[in-house]
Chain A
Amino acid sequence: MTDACTHPQTPLLHVEHLTMRFGGLVAADDVSFKAQDRKITAIIGPNGAGKTTLFNCLTGFYAPTSGRLELNHPTRGECLLERMEGHRIARDAGVARTFQNIRLFARMTVLENLIVAQHNRLMRASGFSFLGLLGFKRYVDAETQAVELARYWLDRIGLTERADWEAGNLPYGDQRRLEVARAMCTEPVLLCLDEPAAGLNPRESADLNRLLTFIRDEHSIGLLLIEHDMSVVMGISDHIVVLDYGRKIADGTPRAVRNDPAVIRAYLGDENDEENDNAMPPKVTADPKGGDV
């Protein structure tokens, strides 16, 4: 692999002293935490707490001002995400993500969305298009394999029947699940989900929970989750990190975090602290803010 990746270690993801400044605004301030393999780590916090900024740093959309983002890939060794370009984080470090506002390829079909996600493998198999153009068997086989993987995920998210639909025509809940499936088709070791339950009804939300626990248990990868829907967070996460104004204020099991006074203060506000009066109570489900990226 590359010089950014060397010997493997635990945990899967180790964020150390991550700081991200936008001019005078400190969106993430000295945040450190760990995320484990085969565990769902939830990142929660009121609006503007820096959750999506953290995600964007992790997945290479922002270059952090300082800090170290270390990912231990089980086969490729240690990767320093802050030094890698956006597409290499997905390709070489195996970090996949979904977006707050769904980013499917709307005019391509469901199946094509899943095939595009396997771009790099197919690209190698097609000899960077030269062999593929000539119809080499190697590429034909690779494509069949890619379709098989896509079919596996289509079965998991219940969209096999609608595989040839345009993705943009799917109902909202299906689009969410398709985005998760598309990220999984890159065969990641860490899956980052930015508010996957936003805008889902309770039944769709329960479907999503099942999908996420399935991914954790059967595919044994780590999941990192930003979520406002507390039924999702408390229901499936193994570990919770709470951010407020860019700082980490709590870190622990769902039970411990729920009773943490600092967390309660951040969400419900302090009697002496009027500024926080408008903050989110923990029971709010979908958050209608229009996020960036």
Chain B
Amino acid sequence: MTPRPALDVPAILKEAGLTALVMLGLTVGLVGFRIPDGIGASALETRFGAVAMACGLAFAGRIALILLREKRPRRVLFASTAYAVVVALAQAAPVLFSPAATERWITLRPFDSAVVNGMTVVLAAAFALRAAWMEWRHRRFPGIKERDKAMDAMGARVQRATHFFGPALLLVAVILPFLPMVDRRLLDIAVLVVTYIMLGWGLNIVVGLAGLLDLGYVAFYAVGAYSFALLAINFDLGFWICLPLAGMLAATAGILLGFPVLRLRGDYLAIVTLGFGEIIRIILLNWYQFTGGPDGISGIPKPTFFGLEFKRSASDGGETFHQFFDLTYSPVDKIVFIYYVILGLALITNSFSLRIRKLPVGRAWEALREDEIACRSLGINATNTKLTAFAIGAMFGGIAGSFFATRQGFISPESFTFIESAVILAIVVLGGFGSQIGVVIAAILLIGLPEIFRELQDFRMLTFGGAMVLIMVWRPAGLLAHRTPSIRLSDRGGEP
């Protein structure tokens, strides 16, 4: 290791002291005094111990940050790990130790509130992780470039493995409803996950291929859902007729949005699409006569299997699925059918995006993402190319939306809030822009796991946010961002 300049201890102490001072200013009023609850309590309670503790921790935390900045992770690693472990044990003492030991452990708790203690533990753990990563990276790799290369190589390996892994995954997806451990709840989660996979694949066309950051994708999902619901209820059309119509209406919405925002890029585009998403939701909420406003639309017809209904008894004139095939009625049949419908739709989306990447328009999208000016100089009509990306992405969003409507049987504007857009975008970003298998993995991680571990849902958004921050710091292009060329000159070709 190369010799490093000595640390400027006074400067560090000064900086940390300032941080502690700021902390003092922030906490002395808010934490230091407390008016006790209840009647009869008169005196103001003071909690200067907590204030001192907060300032001390801010001081130590600042020093840890400085040391990390100066690339000296070892001490930070030890100190923050020790802190995290001790405080976590102190917090968990009543469960872990005998009452006598607990007495002693509890004195080690920095604050009275378990939440605050937990937060400091999480912060210390984050420091420790960062320090550990830095230390490990020092040993393994000389720099960021090498790390990126290694991650790229991993992405490439996963991409290659997809050739074998993909069909296996598909097989699992196809036989999933008949696996012995799959119950109704798991099947419901699978339907949800596949819906998000489809949405992710649809958004991937816009964000991953064309490079247009769309924060309002849920608008098209909403347009699709409401188109389906309104068409089905007002005109008595069936699911399979409404599906393409809803897709087309959503695509039209995509073009309508596309026109005004064509000249915008990056952040500006993101903001306008965000606004568009909200506009659609607010229109749905306020146009009471048309959309039912906050009441939503209920009684949306369920999909039918070539006209056969999935009900216990047929509505007049019809026949049900179980009657036709002479089966005993089972409510799971309907879910299995719904699962296959969304699986089919998702697979269509997937094969469509894989194919279109190899067509001129797909290549033009990618070229547009790389350099719009160069595209113009090559005679590519940037306007139309962007509009097609918007329209096609919106179409798949709309189709997924009509599926959502028919599955739920009830829709209201509440289902189409910004958080939905954020989740879909997170799936695309986490999986890696433009990576189809990445979307699948990310959707399982972000939708499937939280659904399965519902008990821990208090920590859902926390882990969600934490994961996103980690991804942005370490792998801004996404987990599996590896671009496979759309065409090769030679079979052996590739990077050295």
Knowing A97-B377, A129-B356 are in contact, say whether A107-B483 is a contact too (CB < 8 A).
yes
Asked whether any CB of chain A lies closer than 8 Å to the CB of B147, the reply is no
14 contacts between A and B (CB under 8 A): A61-B376, A87-B379, A99-B374, A99-B377, A104-B374, A107-B370, A108-B367, A111-B488, A116-B367, A117-B378, A120-B380, A122-B359, A123-B360, A164-B488
Knowing A119-B380, A126-B360 are in contact, say whether A108-B370 is a contact too (CB < 8 A).
yes
Find out whether the CB atom of B363 lies under 8 angstroms from the CB atom of A119: yes
Q: Once the chains are docked, how many angstroms separate the CA of A165 from the CA of B378?
A: 21
Asked whether any CB of chain B lies closer than 8 Å to the CB of A106, the reply is yes
How far does the Cβ of A258 sit from chain B's closest Cβ, in whole Å? 32
Q: Among the listed B377, B388, B495, which residue makes an inter-chain contact with A166, where contact means beta carbons less than 8 Å apart?
A: B495
Find out whether the CB atom of A163 lies under 8 angstroms from the CB atom of B493: yes
Q: What are the nearest 8 A-B pairs in CB distance? A: A164-B493, A91-B379, A90-B379, A163-B489, A105-B370, A122-B360, A103-B374, A86-B376
Q: Which residue of B lies closest to A165 (CB)?
A: B495
Knowing A151-B489, A163-B490, A164-B494 are in contact, say whether A129-B380 is a contact too (CB < 8 A).
no
Find out whether the CB atom of B352 lies under 8 angstroms from the CB atom of A133: yes
Interface string of B340-384 (1 = CB under 8 A from A): 000000000000100110011101101100110111111111100
Asked whether any CB of chain A lies closer than 8 Å to the CB of B46, the reply is no
Q: Once the chains are docked, how many angstroms separate the CA of A212 from the CA of B98?
A: 86
How far does the Cβ of A103 sit from chain B's closest Cβ, in whole Å? 4
Find out whether the CB atom of B373 lies under 8 angstroms from the CB atom of A293: yes
Q: Which of B352, B364, B367, B378 has the most CB of A within 10 A?
A: B378
Asked whether any CB of chain A lies closer than 8 Å to the CB of B485, the reply is yes
Q: Which residue of A lies closest to B377 (CB)?
A: A97
Q: Once the chains are docked, how many angstroms separate the CA of A118 from the CA of B354?
A: 20
Q: Once the chains are docked, how many angstroms separate the CA of A120 from the CA of B376?
A: 12
Residues of B313-362 at the interface with A, using a CB-CB cut-off of 8 Å, are: 352, 355-356, 359-361
Q: Which residue of B lies closest to A92 (CB)?
A: B379
Asked whether any CB of chain A lies closer than 8 Å to the CB of B6, the reply is no
Knowing A107-B483, A164-B490 are in contact, say whether A60-B376 is a contact too (CB < 8 A).
yes
Asked whether any CB of chain B lies closer than 8 Å to the CB of A176, the reply is no
Find out whether the CB atom of A133 lies under 8 angstroms from the CB atom of B489: no
Interface string of B455-496 (1 = CB under 8 A from A): 000000000000000000000000000010111111001110
Chain A residues engaging chain B, CB cutoff 8 angstroms? 59-61, 86-92, 96-97, 99, 103-109, 111-112, 115-117, 119-120, 122-123, 126, 128-129, 132-133, 139, 143, 147, 150-151, 154, 160, 163-166, 169, 182-183, 186, 293
Knowing A87-B381, A123-B360 are in contact, say whether A164-B489 is a contact too (CB < 8 A).
yes
How far does the Cβ of B485 sit from chain A's closest Cβ, in whole Å? 4
Knowing A60-B376, A111-B487 are in contact, say whether A105-B355 is a contact too (CB < 8 A).
no
Number of interface residues of B (CB under 8 A): 33
Find out whether the CB atom of B361 lies under 8 angstroms from the CB atom of A123: yes
**Which residues of chain A are near B370, meaning CB under 8 Å?**
104-108
Find out whether the CB atom of A105 lies under 8 angstroms from the CB atom of B367: yes
Q: Among the listed B356, B371, B376, B483, which residue makes an inter-chain contact with A90, where contact means beta carbons less than 8 Å apart?
A: B376
Find out whether the CB atom of B485 lies under 8 angstroms from the CB atom of A164: yes
Q: Which residue of B lies closest to A169 (CB)?
A: B495
**Which residues of chain A are near B360, meaning CB under 8 Å?**
116, 119, 122-123, 126, 129, 132
Find out whether the CB atom of A105 lies under 8 angstroms from the CB atom of B356: no
Q: Once the chains are docked, how many angstroms separate the CA of A98 from the CA of B494?
A: 26
How far does the Cβ of A260 sit from chain B's closest Cβ, in whole Å? 32
Find out whether the CB atom of B489 lies under 8 angstroms from the CB atom of A160: yes
Q: Among the listed A116, A151, A169, which residue makes an inter-chain contact with B378, where contact means beta carbons less than 8 Å apart?
A: A116
**Which residues of chain A are near B493, meaning CB under 8 Å?**
163-164
Q: Among the listed A87, A123, A165, A182, which residue makes an inter-chain contact with B376, where contact means beta carbons less than 8 Å apart?
A: A87
Q: Once the chains are docked, how many angstroms separate the CA of A139 from the CA of B359?
A: 9
Find out whether the CB atom of A115 lies under 8 angstroms from the CB atom of B487: yes
**Which residues of chain B are near A123, meaning CB under 8 Å?**
360-361, 364
Chain B residues engaging chain A, CB cutoff 8 angstroms? 352, 355-356, 359-361, 363-364, 366-367, 370-371, 373-382, 388, 483, 485-490, 493-495
5 extra interchain contacts, Cβ-Cβ under 8 A, other than A91-B381, A116-B380, A119-B363? A105-B370, A108-B366, A119-B378, A129-B388, A182-B378
Q: Which residue of B lies closest to A94 (CB)?
A: B379
**Which residues of chain B are near A154, meaning CB under 8 Å?**
489
Find out whether the CB atom of B489 lies under 8 angstroms from the CB atom of A147: yes
How far does the Cβ of B143 sit from chain A's closest Cβ, in whole Å? 17
Find out whether the CB atom of A88 lies under 8 angstroms from the CB atom of B379: yes
How far does the Cβ of B205 sit from chain A's closest Cβ, in whole Å? 13
**Which residues of chain A are near B494, meaning CB under 8 Å?**
164-165
**Which residues of chain A are near B374, meaning CB under 8 Å?**
99, 103-105
Q: Once the chains are docked, how many angstroms separate the CA of A44 from the CA of B488?
A: 40
Find out whether the CB atom of A112 lies under 8 angstroms from the CB atom of B376: no
**Which residues of chain B are near A164, meaning CB under 8 Å?**
485, 488-490, 493-495
Find out whether the CB atom of A87 lies under 8 angstroms from the CB atom of B367: no
Find out whether the CB atom of B485 lies under 8 angstroms from the CB atom of A108: yes
Q: Once the chains are docked, how many angstroms separate the CA of A67 from the CA of B287?
A: 53
Find out whether the CB atom of A96 lies under 8 angstroms from the CB atom of B378: yes
Q: Once the chains are docked, how many angstroms separate the CA of A122 from the CA of B360?
A: 6
Find out whether the CB atom of A112 lies under 8 angstroms from the CB atom of B379: no
**Which residues of chain B are near A293, meaning CB under 8 Å?**
373
**Which residues of chain A are near B486, meaning CB under 8 Å?**
112
Q: Which residue of A lies closest to B371 (CB)?
A: A103
Q: Once the chains are docked, how many angstroms separate the CA of A122 from the CA of B488?
A: 17
Knowing A88-B379, A108-B367 are in contact, say whether A126-B487 is a contact too (CB < 8 A).
no
How far does the Cβ of B255 sit from chain A's closest Cβ, in whole Å? 15
Q: Once the chains are docked, how many angstroms separate the CA of A129 from the CA of B371?
A: 22
Q: Which residue of A lies closest to B376 (CB)?
A: A86
Find out whether the CB atom of A87 lies under 8 angstroms from the CB atom of B489: no
Q: Once the chains are docked, how many angstroms separate the CA of A60 from the CA of B376?
A: 9
Q: Once the chains are docked, how many angstroms separate the CA of A169 from the CA of B356?
A: 26
Find out whether the CB atom of B382 lies under 8 angstroms from the CB atom of A87: yes
Knowing A119-B363, A119-B379, A133-B355 are in contact, say whether A147-B487 is a contact too (CB < 8 A).
yes
**Which residues of chain B are near A111, meaning CB under 8 Å?**
485, 487-489
**Which residues of chain B are near A117, meaning CB under 8 Å?**
378
Q: Once the chains are docked, how many angstroms separate the CA of A111 from the CA of B370?
A: 15
Find out whether the CB atom of B485 lies under 8 angstroms from the CB atom of A109: yes
Q: Once the chains are docked, how many angstroms separate the CA of A86 from the CA of B379?
A: 7
**Which residues of chain B are near A87, meaning CB under 8 Å?**
375-376, 379-382
**Which residues of chain B are near A128, meaning CB under 8 Å?**
361
Find out whether the CB atom of B483 lies under 8 angstroms from the CB atom of A132: no
Q: Which residue of A lies closest to B495 (CB)?
A: A165
Q: Once the chains are docked, how many angstroms separate the CA of A123 from the CA of B364?
A: 10
Q: Which residue of B lies closest to A154 (CB)?
A: B489
